[in-house]
Structure 1
Amino acid sequence: MSRALIIIDMQLGFDDLDFWGSTTNFGCEENVARLIVEWERAGEPIVVVRHDSLSDSSPLHPANPGNALVAAVDRAGRALLVVKNVNSAFYGSPDLHTWLQEAAIEELVICGIQTNMCVETTARMAGNLGYSTVVVLDATRTFDLTAEVIGLGEVHRSADEIMASTALVLQEGGFARIATTREVIAAGATG
């Protein structure tokens, strides 16, 4: 089975905690870098996804320095760069699904930022499109959320709670298998 590493939105703008708020899993970037090394060693395709926000005030807007990819990802030998402005990498340019089909890719290993936003949305769509999908949870990161929700009042969830909920929903909903960086690298070495 052929596989591709899909790296979602590993951009400098996510280091702006004044904009995003509290975060978790500061080992995310290191784990993504470890996955890149494994994929490059195996000669397997790497797809890098970049979020180009439409909001001028977002650190991820193309005019802002935060739009740039983190160093490890920017240096990666990639087969494809997908640029998007929505949550799913399948709604970017060029068309990810078409590229994956033409490359005969059957398995997607997904990592990046934010766990519960673009990573989750891309994983759900990948599962629905029939790909064998793995989300490398310790190679993702997200942020605390607090909001007024109709019918619930003010709701707060920590980044750790959000990551756990996302993993549970993806796994139990049948969208993706949840794994660690170590497990994925070990499977690649033996597979």
Structure 2
Amino acid sequence: MSNILDDLAKNLAKQGAPVLGGLIAGAIGGPAGAVAGSLAGKAIETLAEQLGTDPTPEAVNDAVSNPAATPVVAEAERIATVMRSVWEIEAKRASDAQAAEIAQGFVAWQAIRVIIQVIVWGGWALLLPVGLFGGNWGVKPLVGFGDMLTAWGTVTTVWMIVFHGGHTMKEVLPALRFGRPR
């Protein structure tokens, strides 16, 4: 990842875009996932929007390498110069919010999530032995085993969609260009 960012920063320097190149060069050496949402990520998104390409370092680097892109890069540089302070404020706020959440430690919403996980998976731990060995233990369910599986499967599915699906959608939808642009 840092090789492509390094190449992109060098190509931007050749195109006369020191602000964009500096923002992207600042991400070199960091973890690959840190680029998205960072100042470098904002610079890449701005370039991609102006160049009409995908917001990936590879696609932007390919587009910037074209000498015909010089006026477009100059416009993106102008936008980045104006927006840099806003991006820095956004990054600071996100960092501060995350630090505050970590400083508070284990809070009620985290406890509720753990409790619901225990209930959902504990239900399966009870349901399956009852279904397999219920008659041998003298347990007579009021509802048929197929109906219990369907009902608890629905509970599990809803929990998985709410918990895991929400986190997945936060990552997937922007990549699909769905919703508001960042």
In which range does the TM-score fall when normalised by the shorter chain?
under 0.3
Instruction: Identify the structure with bigger relative contact order (alpha carbons < 8 Å, sequence gap 6+).
Output: 1
TM-score by length of 1: 0.20
Of Structure 1 and Structure 2, which has the larger fraction of its residues in strand? 1
